[in-house]
Each structure stands twice: as C-alpha cells, then as structure tokens.
Amino acid sequence: MSQRPLLLFAIVAAAVLNWYGHVIHAEKPSVIKPGEVWLDDRGVPIQAHGGGILQLGKTYYWFGEDRSQSNDPEKRYVACYSSKDLVHWHYHRQVLAMSNPEGLGKGAILERPKVFYNRTTKTFVMYMHLDSPGYKLARVAIATSKIVDGDYSYVKSFRPLNQESRDIGQFVDDDGSAYLIFESRPTKGFFIAALSADYMDVDRQVSFIPAPLEGGAIVHYHGLYYVLGSHLTGWRPNPNVYATAPSLAGPWTTFRDIAPVEANTYDSQSSMLLKVVGNKATTVVYMGDRWEPKTLWDSRYVWMPVDIGDAKMTLPAPSPWRLDVKSGVAQILVPTAHAASALVGESH
C-alpha cells in the first residue's frame, strides 16, 4: 500500500494543529481576575504594588512598588510594565533602584510611586512617598527620566504645601492638568494640590478634605469629581469610602461606603481610579491592593469596574471580568450577588 495518503494526512493534520495552536495563542482572552496571581509576559507575578497608570496614546504604563524577593534588601525599587489592553502586561524593567535616599539608610520607605508626563519639558516625573522607618519623615520624593522606562534619577524630597505627606495619589483631569492627592495626618485629611508647570513641585492647594483617610484616588466622571480613600488601619483592609464634588475645590459631600461595610472593600485598599474612555462607553476601574505585609511580593491586585453615576459609586464583589479598551465596555463574567446588583445599577 502506498504511504502517500498517510503522509498527506500527517501534513494536513500538522497544518491544522499549527493553525489551531496559532489561533488559540493569538486569541488571548482579555480577562482580569481580581485577587489572583497576575503574571507578566515573562510568566512572573507583576510587581507594581500601590501603583499608578500613565496613558501615552494607546499604551498604558503601570508603575508600582517592586517587592520582589530577589531585590537587594538595601534598595527600594519601582517597576514599569506596559499594556495595550490593561490585561496583558509587558515587563520593561526596574526604573528605580534607590539606595540610602536622604541618608535614611536601608530602612527607608518608598511607597505608591506615580509617574506624570510633562509635555512642556518632555520629562517623566515620578512622585513617591518617601519615609523613614516608623513613617516619621512624611515627604514626597521626585525622580525624573526623559524616557518612560529609563533610569529615573532622584531629584529631591519635600513636604508638599509644607504639610506632612504619607500616601499619595495621582490625578490628571480631562484638560490635562495634574494633581497630587496626599494624606496629612496632623490636619486629619486629604490635600489636593495642583502640580507646578514643570511638575517638579506642587503649586497650590486646590482643596482640603477634612477626613482622616489614605490611599487617595480621584476620578472625574460625567461632570462630577469622585474622591476615594481608605481609613487608617495600616496594611489591614477597611471599608473604603467616597465623596463627590462639582469641582475639585469642593464642596465635597460627606463620605459614603463604596461596598457593603462587612466586605472590607473585598480585602483591598484603594490605589487609583482609572478612567477608560472608549468609543461606546466609559469604564472606571477601581485599582486596589490586597496587601500581604509579611510577604509583600505576594500582595495581589483587586481591579474591578465600578458602578458609577449620579453621585454614587459602588464596587462590585471581585469576579473575573472582561475589558475592551477600544469600546470602553466592561463585562463582569461571573456576576455574584453584589456584582449583579452593581450591573443593574449601571443603567441609571
């Protein structure tokens, strides 16, 4: 019997398998799984805790605390990742490896780095919370780079508006103006400060919100500003709360819970509210950290689309969800009881 049909079959089968393999590989499902280990394109858990997102064109850059176990314990690190879909992240590099800032030694604390891009000076300006062991220094530090994923050079540290500053948050308004939100313990509240023209300082106080909160985040949605924060319970989660105002300067409403109190913000703490504007819809993503203080490298990310509008903001229970950044449409795949009610709420 001729071997030809067998050979032909083998060739066709290999081609089909190859094609299938290619299709399966090419079609990466864009699903975010809050609370699960989130791997980068190397298959390594993403190290971008207490992070922030900078959007440049169609690319999102995610900067955050790199707490890798392999890090030199005497240095403090910030890692940079990029993505086109907010789901699949390409690891760039550790853009900051800081040792002995301000002579603080190996106990220095670097938290919540955020990168702004200044279009006038064409400079990337990283803000971060710099502190001494025991959190007594309470300053922001700045490092800059001309390249988004370049080596950021340490510039200085200071107390914005001459106030103690611990957790910081980043906000860029629709008109491009940039703000720092920072927690001030002595005055028991959040300051919102406009950055100076070159972003190398804060220029002026825009608002003081008298509520002792940290993990500050802001979003501007349908003409209203929403500010979000957590209570002061260290690494332990607590019920995060939000307020709204027609202007960044206020007046701010009283704070309300973003999720059922007993859920403790689904064991997470606010870090940023990311607005994804698509051609069909706008989704606001809650970016939170589920901290593991003893194994910080294993802290997880809780990202969920919030149900927002009419001065209300609700965080659905974590559940896998899909995001299409082009259309801006988010879809929760396995709605839980809370998530289902949050989706219903989206229609008004």
Q: Name which of 221 and 303 has its Cβ closer to ligand DGJ.
A: 303
Give the nearest distance from C-beta 100 to ligand DGJ in angstroms: 20
Q: Name which of 209 and 332 has its Cβ closer to ligand DGJ.
A: 209
* 227 beta partners: 218, 243
Give the nearest distance from C-beta 109 to ligand DGJ in angstroms: 7
Cβ count within 10 A of residue 236: 12
Which among 218, 240, 236, 238 has a CA at the least distance from the CA of 227? 218
The token pair at 155 is: 């510039």
How far, rounded to the nearest angstrom, does the alpha carbon of residue 298 sit from its chain's CA centroid?
16
Give the nearest distance from C-beta 288 to ligand DGJ in angstroms: 11
173 and 186 Cβ atoms separated by less than 8 Å: no
Q: Name which of 133 and 234 has its Cβ closer to ligand DGJ.
A: 234
Give the nearest distance from C-beta 305 to ligand DGJ in angstroms: 22
Q: Name which of 101 and 215 has its Cβ closer to ligand DGJ.
A: 215
Residue with the two structure tokens 């940023």: 272
Please report the DSSP string for 331-346 in residue order.
Answer: EESS--HHHHHHHHHT
Which among 32, 184, 54 has a CA at the least distance from the CA of 123? 54
Render the burial of 148-164: b for 16+ CB within 10 Å, e for the rest. bbeebebeebbebbebb
Q: Name which of 112 and 338 has its Cβ closer to ligand DGJ.
A: 112
Give the nearest distance from C-beta 106 to ligand DGJ in angstroms: 17
Q: Name which of 159 and 312 has its Cβ closer to ligand DGJ.
A: 159
Q: By beta-carbon distance, which residue lies closest to ligand DGJ?
A: 234
Task: Give the HSE-up count for residue 99: Cα atoms under 13 Å, Cβ half-sphere.
Answer: 5
Q: Name which of 244 and 269 has its Cβ closer to ligand DGJ.
A: 269
Cβ count within 10 A of residue 174: 9
Task: Give the HSE-up count for residue 49: Cα atoms under 13 Å, Cβ half-sphere.
Answer: 27
Per CB under 6 A, residues contacting ligand DGJ are: 50, 111-112, 167, 214-215, 234-235, 269
199 and 123 Cβ atoms separated by less than 8 Å: yes
Q: Name which of 94 and 269 has its Cβ closer to ligand DGJ.
A: 269
Dmax over CA atoms of the chain, in Å, equals 91
Residue type, 240: N
Size of the chain, expressed as the number of residues it contains: 348
The token pair at 225 is: 């500003």
